[in-house]
Amino acid sequence: MANQSNQNVKTVLSNHINLVMIAKGILVSYIATIPLFLVFALVLSYTDFPEKYVSPVVVIVSAISIMIAGSTATRKIKNKGWLNGSVVGFIYVLILYILSSFVYNNFTIDRHVLLMTILGIILGSIGGIIGINLKRGSNYSTRSH
């Protein structure tokens, strides 16, 4: 009985959440994030960039990366793009939080962390919806010709 229950959970999860594509989306997002942060670090080092704009730039770079990740993760799945994208956004923010907590030696959860988590989930979901619709759009255009 327990084995059948475990099989049902695995089947439901595999029908709705594609872990391989989620991992691929997160990998692609960090491949996009790291160079953007490196360029931004160079800008900070060699210019008089106002410190008050550092946090918004980090949020914008993260937002772009999360949407890319959500879109990438859902291009090859059939449905539930919003769910897969949400998972991608959450995991992206979680990894970013863990890495920054090690760097700053500060593992507190504050308003900023909660806001970034919610933003990550929402933007990942939007990216997931875009990824599903980009795939569908290309299928429709190839069928009409």
Residue 3 pLDDT level (bands cut at 50, 70, 90): low
Could you give phi then psi for residue 107, rounded to 5 degrees?
A: -105, 40
Taking residue 49's Cβ as centre, other Cβ atoms within 10 Å add up to: 13
Residue 108 pLDDT level (bands cut at 50, 70, 90): confident
pLDDT of residue 14: 58
Decide: 128 and 71 in contact? Cβ < 8 Å: yes
Q: How far apart are the first and last CA of the chain?
A: 51
Helix ranges restricted to H, 1-145: 2-16, 19-46, 54-74, 81-104, 111-143
pLDDT of 114 strictly over 60: yes
Using CA atoms, how far apart are residues 133 and 145, in angstroms rounded to an integer? 19
